Amino acid sequence: MWGFFMRIPFASLACVLALAGCAAQEKVLLTASVDQEAIVRDGVPVLVSHKKHLVMLRPNARQFAGHSRPAFTLIVRNQGRQPETLMESSITAHQTIGRKQVAVRVFRFNELVEEEETRQKVAVVAAALGGMGRAMQAANAGHVTTYGNVSASGPYGTSYGTYSATTYDPARAQIAQSIAASETAADFAAIQAQGERNLASLEHTILKDNTVMPGEWYGGTIFLEPAAQSHGRRNYSISVVFGGEEHVFSVSQVAK
């Protein structure tokens, strides 16, 4: 059982979906309930929920930045005799604030894809604006202004002055435009390549709706909206309904 667990990829998509910046790091703690087992894999806590089926939850890192989206790898094993479908909609999260249960958003695969596509569109617009700026600078690169000093002698003595002259060098302008076009093309190519990598990473790592056959394992990454902080902690629960039974995991993020 654990051999398979160790082979599950736990890569986080921080390069696409984690918020940028320097923030205080928060340690991740998992609290096991009566029907759960707390273990550690490679220094990271893991909760294993034993019921008819097996469900495991593992943070994708030992600690999260306080303002970043917590990422977890969720794994299920169908231990029954019938196929069971794990639905994205069956994974929810809640935080208790006072006497109220407040929903914590769990991002779905399609939402993450839409975010990445939107990011790419914004990046393309920014690159296009940058390209326009380069093109304008390149167009003016052919204009060369020279400055000098002059002196002239006359009946009232010698007078001094300055002059400027502007000429146009088409070869210089062409070189500048070629460089600008190359830089803009490189920007677009980099955006496209990064976007393809990000979408491929989402496809291969993010948990999606999936029918799990008897004896089969299935797992993937889920992202949550950061829970509200109270007294230096974020306490919330992640609920997974699979095969007609609910598995609830208690999670805390503690400021270091």
pLDDT for 176 equals 78
Residues 204, 61, 33, 55, Cα dihedral to 10° = 10
Q: Which of residues 36 and 2 earns the better pLDDT score?
A: 36
Maximum separation of any 2 CA atoms in the chain, in Å:
115
Q: What Rg do the C-alpha atoms of the chain give, in angstroms?
A: 30
Q: What is the mean pLDDT of the chain?
A: 84
Residue 156 pLDDT > 70, yes or no?
A: no
Q: Which of 63-67, 164-168, 194-198, 236-240 tops mean pLDDT?
A: 236-240
pLDDT for 143 equals 64
Residue 97 pLDDT > 90, yes or no?
A: no
According to DSSP, residue 215 is labeled: T
HEC assignment per residue over 21-64: CCCCEEEEEEECCCCEEEEEECCEEEEEEECCCEEEEEECCCEE
Average of per-residue pLDDT across 36-41: 93
E strand or H helix at 213, and its extent? none
pTM: 0.74
Q: Which of residues 173 and 203 earns the better pLDDT score?
A: 203
Average of per-residue pLDDT across 187-214: 93
Identify the CA nearest to 27 among candidates 238, 248, 235.
235
Q: Which of 158-167, 207-216, 227-236 tops mean pLDDT?
A: 207-216
3-state secondary structure of 169: coil
**Which positions ≥6 away from 245 have C-beta within 8 Å?**
51, 52, 53
125-150 residue pLDDT tens:
998 888 888 788 777 766 666 666 65
Provide the CA 54 distance to its chain's centre, in angstroms. 29
3-state secondary structure of 209: coil
Residue 215 pLDDT > 50, yes or no?
A: yes
Residue 10 pLDDT > 90, yes or no?
A: no
3-state secondary structure of 219: strand
99 phi, psi to nearest 5 deg: -105, 10
pLDDT for 238 equals 97
- Residue with the two structure tokens 């003595």: 157
> Which residues, in sequence order, are bridge partners of residue 103?
94
53-74 residue pLDDT tens:
999 999 999 889 878 899 999 9
Could you tell me what percent of the chain has a pLDDT over 70? 80
Residue 23 amino acid letter: A
Residue 81 pLDDT > 80, yes or no?
A: yes
